[in-house]
Chain A
């Protein structure tokens, strides 16, 4: 098949950036979208032109590195699929495909399709963990966890922190990402001790990073490659309210 690629090229954060058009001929439909970009890059390099820079690593849909709008949608048109797992068989012959980086204040562009997502790391550092030291923990089966709870915690924990939720949201809200971690740990007995503090701190950090507010349009969940549920946002809001109203923590910073 043949396709036309319109890709956002931007040399660095200070560059204005613009779209470049590339014609791609005789594409194998079994190819993944990132492999299509590889093929383009190989061609560009042979012509002595700099390749398109993009983040990618595992190419198995799990590391969360790859991130790009494809035809105006984070990770492209296929539901529940990362860009690396999107295959050319889902495009039409002769189609024009537009490729852009994530757009959000908290995700500044680095080069071409690469953006800086370290804001997510700082949110986790604010409390997205259970504070246990190594060793000296109880036997794993000493605290039973109902299967339904473990499964639901897993559903939330499946988030890969790619940032598609932020990119999909008109407010660039990070609530789906943050709520997934808060939910996972709020559902498990191990996460109880720090539950209130965690919600308060992570949400405070999210705001400090410049992410917008949630207006419940659900684009985040619809575009999430891991199908993380909007119910997590509701759960996060409850956690936050409970922390604010009934917090045993007098002062958290």
Chain B
């Protein structure tokens, strides 16, 4: 298979402008002849659905939540980057581009990242115009803060609820189009298959989660904006409903899945406290602007933090990385936290935690200033743990947060299936092997507001207006397959609950394909996941029927896909004999314990093709070319 990235020729700074001019346009009068399906209503999906409807296309939008406003983008806390250089601290489009490519450990596509940096500037303008209440300075201008992996202050924020405010902005824009009749919204509806006609994506099969009905929807193009697959690990910072199903079913219809093993582990989460735990909660990375990370110098030192004197504390990030200090990127901070805990210097009951201490910041700036910056985060921490971070340091530990892998897309955000697009966290393109803070919100909105409205026209202009009725054979076949699968899940009537099996999968994935991996561990994991798959299909217990609201059935259906995706993540991690960003193979590290890439052999996107059930997936490679950022060992010293 030829993986054509369709990256335009010419200087990096000119590519997008030229490309936009070269893309074919659809005459405004003809736009209403095209139907577009958008699955997912987070930042990418809601902004895409709203923008495309504004242009005149007929849009059908789908989400599994009861309202598009509850998509998981709403939970993003810290902020959104933009190369505005309002702070006059030397920021520029090129610097944001450079930081992002470097932060992604040179495993993202240069041209996509440059475009992201370029349109970041418009995103802020757009959101402000929508009435997003970003933080302001006393003069009325926008405030900024800094985030991990950057030495400039380019992060725009709305307290610790930036994702919420940006999503509500996009939800407003979407609501306006729903009221205008240009978007038809289907909530509590889950996509279960992609329908292809003549090799092109022409529709989807969904399950109405309230009634259990299986329905088909036809369109001229399908956009997946369904987020990430971190819940493969069972415990993650993702919302409970976040899943891989839509993307995975598209993969089984031929869409390549790229870099599945790249999982971002976020360093500042509330540690696990017990077996009953259902999810992990992230504390914004912005906390590391003022909080200092430390552990005791001595192993097994179980004194209360206030009883450990200054000279017996190890501020290990400041010690090892003097220029970035506590603001090193997420993969570096996470690995170092794991390392000190593995040494036996972790704190708390489980020994799997480090301190994030605000005592110095409070002494320096006063409690009221710290409270104005982080008050809601401190409150949230206290609610969950019962400890007051104004009085005693927070305890944090890394957790699964964001997945950089996803469906393979070209420069137009189209997958290798004509007419199937993938936006935001659901695609692979912008983040490489690691994601810097405040860049996911940026990508979601860039794709939805400023990329897809241009690129989709180029495809639609080349196909006919003819609609394919949902009575077409391709729809019927897909519907029948979906129905059979649902019936099968209900009929197994085994002994293990969905959560029991999910926890088993999560444990294997976290232990052996998590923060660090080894060839040996991955090979063991491969066998264990195989076994879990067998157990699932022979022994899962799903109560109730398929003709009603059935949350256990929903979970079971998603877990079946997580198991298969988990197996692919393991294959991908095994294939990549190097360490890069969030993918840390213990065999490949520098003498200082940093991730050691192998640019000679692995400077490619690993795009996997489905070849059939229980058949090894086929690896396709897209070579990555770095013309504008020199490949160097990442250093944050």
Contact = CB atoms under 8 A, between A and B. Distances in A.
Interface stretch (A97-105, A145-153, A209-217, A243-251): A145-153
Interface string A129-158: 111111101111101111100110110011
Contacts of A191: 131
Nearest to A189: B131
B124 interface: yes
A146 B276 CA distance: 46
Given A116-B66, A121-B69, A191-B131, A134 B450 contact: yes
A23 interface: no
A139 B125 contact: yes
Given A134-B449, A184-B131, A191-B131, A146 B136 contact: yes
Given A63-B70, A116-B66, A35 B450 contact: no
A9 interface: no
B554 to A, nearest CB: 11
Contacts of A30: 273-274, 385-386
A1 interface: no
Given A48-B543, A185-B131, A58 B74 contact: yes
Interface stretch (A38-46, A165-173, A228-236): A38-46
B299 to A, nearest CB: 26
Range of interface residues on A (Cβ < 8 Å):
35 or more
A28 B239 contact: no
B508 to A, nearest CB: 20
B67 A120 contact: yes
A184 B140 contact: no
A77 interface: no
A85 interface: yes
Interface string B258-283: 00000000000000011011110110
Contacts of A87: 383-384, 386
B69 A161 contact: yes
B187 A124 contact: no
A65 interface: yes
Interface stretch (B156-164, B306-314, B575-583): B156-164
B126 interface: yes
B143 to A, nearest CB: 8
A110 interface: yes
Contact of A121 (B50, B175, B551): B175
Contact of A35 (B67, B276, B541, B543): B276
A45 B499 CA distance: 10
A59 B279 contact: yes
Given A63-B74, A64-B69, A65-B66, A58 B161 contact: no
Contacts of B175: 121, 124-125, 128-129
Given A39-B276, A45-B497, A60 B380 contact: yes
Contacts of B68: 121
A130 B130 contact: yes
Interface in A27-76: 28, 30-32, 34-35, 38-39, 42, 45-46, 48-51, 53, 55-65
B549 A53 contact: yes
A147 B143 CA distance: 10
Nearest to B135: A150
Nearest to B124: A140
A65 B279 CA distance: 15
Given A129-B173, A134-B54, A150-B136, A45 B72 contact: no
A118 B239 contact: no
Nearest to A185: B131
A6 interface: no
B136 A62 contact: no
A188 interface: yes
B552 A51 contact: yes
Interface in B90-123: 122
A50 B550 CA distance: 9
B142 A141 contact: yes
A41 to B, nearest CB: 8
Contacts of A45: 497, 541, 543, 552
Nearest to B171: A124
B86 interface: yes
Nearest to B173: A129
A57 B551 contact: no
Given A30-B386, A130-B129, A132-B126, 14 more contacts: A12-B548, A45-B543, A49-B543, A62-B75, A114-B549, A132-B173, A137-B129, A140-B124, A143-B128, A147-B137, A153-B133, A154-B159, A154-B165, A158-B164
Q: Which 5 A-B pairs have the closest CB atoms?
A: A144-B140, A129-B172, A137-B129, A140-B128, A154-B133
Interface of B: 47, 50-51, 54, 65-70, 72, 74-75, 84, 86, 122, 124-131, 133-142, 158-159, 161, 164-165, 168, 171-173, 175-176, 178-179, 185, 187, 210, 239-241, 273-274, 276-279, 281-282, 379-380, 383-386, 449-450, 453, 497, 499-500, 541, 543-544, 548-549, 551-552
7 contacts: A55-B66, A57-B240, A59-B239, A129-B176, A130-B131, A134-B50, A145-B140
